Amino acid sequence: MTPYAPTTDDPGFWTLLGPDFAGKSTVLDRLHDDHGWRVVSYDDRYLEQYPLIARLRKRWIDDAFLWTGERYSPELVLSVLHTIVLHLRDQLARSTGPEPVIVDSYFYKLLAKCRLLGLEHDPTFDLWRLFPRPRGVLYLDVPPEVIWARSGQGALLNAFEQRPGTTGRAGFLQLQSELREALLKEVGDVPLTVIDGSADPDTVMADVLASLRTEALR
Rounded to an integer, the average pLDDT of 112-139 is 94
The domain defined by 13-208 carries CATH number 3.40.50.2000: no
**In which element (H, E) is residue 14 found?**
strand 13-17
Helix (H, G, I), strand (E, B) or coil at 119: coil
Q: Please state, for a pLDDT cut of 90, what percent of the chain lies above it.
A: 63
The pLDDT assigned to 165 comes to 64
Question: In Å, how far from its chain's centre is CA 1?
Answer: 23
CB contact set of 52 (below 8 Å; sequence gap of 6+): none
Whole-angstrom CA distances from 205 to 171, 196, 209 are 30, 10, 6
Between these two residues, 54 and 3, which has the higher pLDDT value?
Answer: 54
Q: Which of 217, 205, 46, 45 is nearest to 140 (CA)?
A: 205
Q: Tell me the per-residue pLDDT of 61-80, one tens digit each, with 9 for 90 and over.
A: 888 888 888 899 999 999 99
CA angle, 4 as apex, 40 and 211 as ends, to 5°?
55
Quote the pLDDT of residue 43.
93
Phi/psi for 135 (5° steps) reads -65, -30
Give yes or no for residue 57 having a pLDDT over 50. yes
Q: Please tell me the total number of residues recorded for the chain in this structure.
A: 218
- How much of the chain, in percent, has pLDDT values that exceed 70? 91
Min mean pLDDT across 14-28, 36-50, 58-72, 90-104 is at 58-72
What pLDDT is stored for residue 11 in this prediction?
Answer: 55
Model confidence at 101: pLDDT above 60: yes
CA distance 105 to 58: 17
CA 179 centroid distance within chain: 12
pLDDT of residue 170: 83
Indicate if the pLDDT at residue 206 is higher than 70: yes
* Every domain of the chain and the residues it spans: 13-208
Q: What is the pLDDT of residue 173?
A: 86
Q: What is the greatest pairwise CA distance in the chain? A: 50
pLDDT in tens, 33-49: 999 999 999 999 999 99
pLDDT on residue 47: 96
Calculate the average pLDDT of the chain.
88
Supply the pLDDT for residue 164: 65
Task: Write the CA distances from 133 to 102, 120, 137, 160, 209, integer angstroms.
Answer: 12, 22, 10, 25, 20
Residue 81's pLDDT is: 93
Q: Does residue 217 or residue 198 have the better pLDDT?
A: 198
Contact 29, 45 (CB under 8 A): yes
Bridge partners (DSSP) listed for residue 196 = 141
Nearest Cα neighbor of 142 from 199, 77, 200, 198 is 198
92-106, 140-154, 184-198 — which one is most confidently predicted on average?
184-198
Q: What are phi and psi of 74, to 5 degrees?
A: -55, -40
Q: What is the band of 216 on the pLDDT scale with cuts at 50, 70, 90? A: low
